[in-house]
Every structure is written in C-alpha cells, then in structure tokens.
Amino acid sequence: MEQSFSSDTRCEVRTAAGIVRGRFERGVAVFRGIPYAEPPVGVRRFMPPVSVVGWEGVRDAVAFGPRVPQAGNRGSVMDSVSGCVGDGSGDCLTLNVWSPDLGAVNMPVMVWIQGGTYLENDSGNPHCDGAGLAAAGVVVVSMNYRVGMDGFGRIAGVPDNRGILDQVAALRWVRENIAGFGGDPGNVTVFGQSAGGACIAALLVMPLAAGLFRRAIIQSMAGTCFSPRLAGAVSDAIAGRLGVRATVAELAELTPRALIEASGAVLAGMPARLREWGPMALTPTPFSPVVDGEVLPCAPWRGIAEGAARGVDVLIGHTRDESRLYMSRPAGELTEARVAAAFDHLSPGSDGRAVYRDAYPAATVSERFEILHSDWLFRMPALHLAEAAHAGGGPVWMYELAWGFNAAQGSSHCLDFLLVFGTLGPDEVRAHPRAYPDAAAEIGEVARRMRGDWVRFAADARPGWPRFDRRARTTRVYDAESITRAYPEEASRRIWSGHRFGTLDLRPG
C-alpha cells in the first residue's frame, strides 16, 4: 500500500478500495469511518456482508461512520425498508485506524471488538479511543458491526451470526490493507470485552475466521451461546409482537426501528419466560451467538478444548466484581422471588442457595446474589475457557482486575477496558461521590500496567507472567499493588468445577 505525508495534519493511504485521507492528532495518524463492506440496507439488510465497492479519488476519513441501527439512533436508516437512505446513515459498516507511524513496517496490530449486550455498538464511543494504545507502539483498529435482530436474530433464509460475519469481514480488510498503515497483517491481536469478548470466543472456533488473527484477548466474556431452537423462539417472539413470522420476506417489510422496539419489549418480559427459555431469561439481552453447526460449529468451550484454537495465543480474564455495576443501579427491590429464581436457575447443583451460603458465609443475601450472577455470566465462563484452551494444547494466560475506584461499583464490568484504553482519568475518579481516597492517584499506574501488558502480549505473547494451567492456575491480579498468584476466586471455582458450559437450549415441556 502507498502512503503520503504533508507538513500539515492530513495524511493519505491507498487501500484496496481507494485512497483514504485521515489526519494526525497528537502525533498519531487517525482514519475514521472507512467502509469495509457495502451498506447493509435494502436487499443486503439481513445478508452476510458484501465487500465494499471501490471509489475514485480521495475519500475523507476524519469522522466516525454512522452507528448501526440500534436504540437511540436517529438516522433515516431507522425508518427505511427500501434501502434508500438519503442522509448516509445506512453506510454503517465502517472501521477506524490509529497508527503511530505510517512509515513503519510490521507493527503489531490490535483489533478492538466492542461489547454492548448484542444490542448496542458504536465505534465512535470516546471511551474506546485508540490513540493511547497506538502511542504505545501498535496499530489499533475498531469497527461497527450489526447488532440486535439484524445482527444476531435467527431468521429463516439467511445465515446466523451476521454480526460476527461483519467482524470477519473487517478482519479480512485488516489482512488486506493494514500494511499501508504500518501494521503487520501476520501479527494481529483481536481484543474485546463482554459481548465483544464472547464474539472473539466464537471466532476462535469458526472456520471462516481461521488465520485472520494470531492472538486473542478476551475480557469479561458473556458466557451464553444459543441453540437454533432457543434463538428461533426468541426471534419468533420478537416477530410475533409485530404480527409477522421471522422470515426474510416478512421482516424485510419492517423498519429497523420497529424490530428494535419489539426486541426491547421482549427483553422486558423475558423473566416471565424463565420456565420455557431457561436461564437466558435472566440476562440483560435476548441475543447471543447461535451454535448453528455452520457459521459457528460448536460452543467455544468444546471446540477450544478439542484444539480449534491451538495455534492462537489467548489472554483471558474478568473483573472481580463483574455484576456490581448492574446491582448498584436502581432496578427494583431485590425480592425473595428474584433471589429464588436466580439460585434455582443459575447455580449448579440442586441447592444453589445453600452451596453459596456455605462458600461465602460472611456475605449477605444480596452479596451472594451478586456473586452468583458474576460467576454464571462472566467469571466462570472465562475460567472454564482458559481451562479449555490449556486442555486443547494452546498457550493461555489468565488475569483478574481487582482494583476499583469507588465503593458502589468495586471492580465492575467495563472498568477493565477503560483502563486499557486510558479513557478514564484521575479527574473523573476524583469527582465520583464515593471514590476511594487514593484512587485518583492509583489509576494511572494500574492503567499503565494493564495497557503495557496488553501491548507486550500483542507484540510477542509475553505479557509478563507465566502461562495458565489447570494445576497451578497462575493468574495476574491487577490492583494498586499487582501480584501474580493462583486463581483468586477459589470458592466459586470449586462450586463450578463440575459444571460444563455449552449451548443453552429451550427447556423441555
């Protein structure tokens, strides 16, 4: 690829589709809103991504591309069924590149896959600004991908997991074009958090993604995958609210806004479907990757244990207090019914409440409720995936973030990626009404250590501590004083040691 520089802030790179013009910002070359696939509108709306058609001349790449359809999106794409989107808001399958040196050769590449409960995705989120990471010596890429019914709903007549297929398309773009931005297409690390981390776990066992990345960092992965039957039941419920069937022909007559609103209504009523839909009804989303046997041949734990990711270096972990963020929000009273439903349907064994009471005798009922949710949805799926990677013969490293800056949220879900990107600063910490006295002074060092370890891992798979195995369970624990020790959540590990994570299905009957 060709690149050119000038004495002002502009910079240009030739990609396979055409020339893009970005600009230098604080010493980093930034290109925003580069299309990697054709707009997913009209006849392409529910189809796999289609490679972008090239353009003549120079395309400005200084503004983030439009968000994919999701709640809060005000673009005209939200009300279109024809694909005629006059304001350009349908051109949403775009990516962004931050490069510290366009003239470099073979810098490590880090591709960020953002989370958002499979309902939200916006690569323009300022908390995911790649400039800080890029300044540490890597080329950073982020992307938009389809979410909600368009990206993850099971629809008769089209492939499942279209949002993950968008990610595959973006990774192919990286392989074909990243050298022009100073990156090494043979040294790509995908990293993502929550739903983004779960998508990476799926990518590790997807044949279509084989060879597109060398390393993977999985942060706080959401540990749910759906069977076709369960995903189909969810889609039928969403379509049924609009009086149609979940087929391409009938859903194509509905606007994205209508499907998003119907999905929100189904989400609100999910707890009432617990006996039919099982534990997924207690999660914050009606969507997850679908184990369809084609795009996603099996659940990640099984495929990775069987060696599907043997050639990929994996770094995986979670925060200590994953669910504290959600429990701290005003979501209604913690009733006996909510507690009973959680322990009856989420915990392993026949008497989960007693098991957690014995394992955590000093905890209150609400604290055990929180620990259970953290274990079931985030912590234990991550631990078991690390164990699967080791069993499958691949190199794997484990971490836990134990540092937090306020008493209300602790080391909560999402805090890890804010530290890695460096987009949560001392002033914001200091302004929190329940901030710990030393937190503002500590955050810079904790963030620097995590970011440095992530960059070293992306460069040569040496994050700075020994590999994980099922005997020693060596784990890097990030805190004000970080240490390396055996996996710290031993009580929960023992509870879940006999459980096997896999594909969630409809309940019988």
Q: What residues are labeled active site? A: 194, 322, 413
**Spatial contact of 507 and 231, defined as CB atoms under 8 Å apart:** no
- With tokens 């099996």, the residue in question is 298
Report d(CA 163, CA 145) in Å as an integer.
5
Beta bridge partners of 3: 13
Q: Is-contact 401 328, C-beta < 8 A?
A: no
Could you tell me if 416 and 319 are in contact, meaning their C-beta atoms sit under 8 angstroms apart?
yes
Q: Residue 37: which residues within 8 A CB-CB, separation 6 or more?
A: 49, 50, 51, 52, 93, 166, 169, 170
Backbone dihedral region for residue 464 (phi beyond 0: left; psi -120 to 50: alpha; all else: beta) = left
| Mode of pairing for the β-strands spanning 396-401 and 474-478 | parallel
Burial 446-483 (b: 16+ CB within 10 A, else e): bbebbbebbbbbbbebebebebbeeeebbbbbbbeebe
Instruction: Determine the Cα–Cα distance for residues 101 and 310; give it in Å rounded to an integer.
Output: 32
Strands 139-143 and 215-219: unpaired
- Write down the residue that tokens 């004000």 correspond to: 480
Q: Where are the beta strands (DSSP E) in 146-303?
A: 183-193, 215-219
**Tokens found for residue 329:** 């929000």
Q: Identify whether the C-beta of residue 216 lies closer than 8 Å to the C-beta of residue 314.
A: yes
DSSP symbols for 290-356 = B--SSSS-S-HHHHHHTTTTTTSEEEEEEETBTTHHHHTS------HHHHHHHHHHTSSSS-HHHHH
Distance CA 245, CA 251 (A): 7
Residues 6+ apart with CB under 8 A from 490: none
